[in-house]
Structure 1
Amino acid sequence: MTKKKRKAYAAAGVDVDLGNKLKRRIQSLVRQTHGPQVLGKIGGFGGLFHANFGTMREPVLVASIDGVGTKLKIAFAMNKHDTVGADLVNHCVNDIAVLGARPLFFLDYIGCEKLEPRVFDQLIRGFSRACRAAKCALIGGETAQMPAMYRKGEYDLAGCIVGVVDRRKIINGRKIKPGDVILGLPSNGLHTNGYSLARKVLPRSRKIHTELLHVHKNYQPMLAKVPNGMIKGLAHITGGGLVDNLPRVLPKNCNALIDTKSWRVPQIFKTIQQNGSVNRREMYQVFNMGIGMVAVVSALDAKRAMSILRAKRIGRIERGNGKTQLIF
């Protein structure tokens, strides 16, 4: 491609030279997430990862993909972008952690109207920080400049993660039975769900927006401390809330009975409900309501699991048809 054509492409809204320059600038941030299992140089056509699973008898790869949703609108308003980068990584890590998996590597996608160096740098810093904390390698990504697709100054994010779990240690909920105890791990705010409604009903202030940008919590390190076999089922409380996410891990003959008075619901959710005149059940179907992860354990293991996870006892398993029942 000639220099003249490159300038024409930039005039059309896609600056290839700027993109290449920014990719060179962020190499150190990406490299900080790499261990000896990452092979090859940064910026290749594909990321290389040497899979060495040590003592695992039957390693099973676990993959997931997700986005951040309209929480990005808050990042745009606050001109703060590192937190949503971390949100994306942590959301993906949690989605595979519920199966008992630990993360191996992560790939990101950024679609934008135009590459802004400061914004791009903040996003990668967020990815890098969260990947390092999760012991997960950032091995690739795609950045697409699409001026006809996005509003000025806006972008979208998506992330793909791959992890691994020993087949005999997969957590799938099959052993859940009536009498088991439901534990709730506290969230760090809204995490990455319910922002379309929250933005509609909450006042626009720096204080509110700062709270809405609290980073999605990564539960995997804490879950990894629990002895193998103690946790029967895990549910990441994302879109669908407690109402729709718990049934994803329940046997068909079991219901999850949730006592909504067993934990303190953070004020931000109460404000959303009041300002939006939202039905109580709908709140628990849209938001996490202060519970970001749910673990199901036997009654005998409940006390020990609560101590390890710093969790609250929020319900129990009863005979039923695979649904969540809320007690108000």
Structure 2
Amino acid sequence: MTVMESLRPLIQPSDRIFVAGHRGMAGSAICRSLLRQGYGNLLTVTRSELDLTDSAAVGSWFSHQRPDVVVLAAAKVGGILANATYPADFLLENLKIQNNVIESAWRCSARRLLFLGSSCIYPKFATQPIREEELLQGGLEPTNEWYAIAKITGIKLCEALRQQHGFDAISLMPTNLYGPGDNYHPQNSHVLPALIRRFHEAKMRGMSSLTCWGSGTPRREFLHVDDLADAAVHCLRCWDPSQADSPRRTDGQPLTFLNVGSGTDLTIAELAGLVADAVGYGGEIQWDTSKPDGTPRKWLDVSRLTQLGWQPRISLQDGLRQVVQAFTSGEVEQRL
């Protein structure tokens, strides 16, 4: 047990905890984790009830509800194709959501805020495994730079409010997520759910071969969303960047954002093989090298988070079996 774990938790069961984006994959998982650990006083609101891009509406909602703790898991997300097709949407919508929620939380005296970012904030050719110090040390991957710039802005807004006003805002940068609530849309999904859908459809149609985008050589890391959720609650409870034993940068300054990952990665070709096996597809897998690969490798250094006492518990093989079973049984049909 770390020193921080032995202290009184930084959030309490009686706290009013607002989870923005509670219907999304990450937000719903965080709600499940909070409830499982005894934090039942959750505040949630649907998009039809509150448009997070509307600054006046968000400010009014915070003034009336006065949450003690805020988890910002709401975002416009998508894969390579979606980012390339809607760059302005990804930048504008995410900036509006972040600025409105983070500023309103600070102005309405929320005690803690957790901002959920993404590993795409790091440079395309970052040193592997990627430590938090790699932020802003190189150019971004062009296929998702709009989303990445928005997330970097969110991190920096949290840091600025902490530095100037003492606002207790922390951020987590998760690797590629998968699990319950994922998006299986044929154009706007991320790589793992996209592969699950395509291999399942190829099997159902009796296709002898299937072509996937890129070369299959990029390496990626995957984390089950329930592991991310447990990491988020753990950090809300235990991580105080102002404490002397909190994770530090190499220059000795306290970190206010941490990586969240599984600690292992694999090639996209290896991932495709695992998905094909899980789905039961026995055809040939071909690769269209005219399509973009994205970042060559994205493997996070999670040593700072493990220093706080967190470890992932769901292996990729086990998690993949779960999500394939849910997809093929029709449990996720409504999200296609």
TM range (shorter): under 0.3
Return the structure number with greater strand share.
1
Q: Over alpha carbons, which structure has the higher Rg?
A: 1
TM-score, scaled relative to structure 1 = 0.26
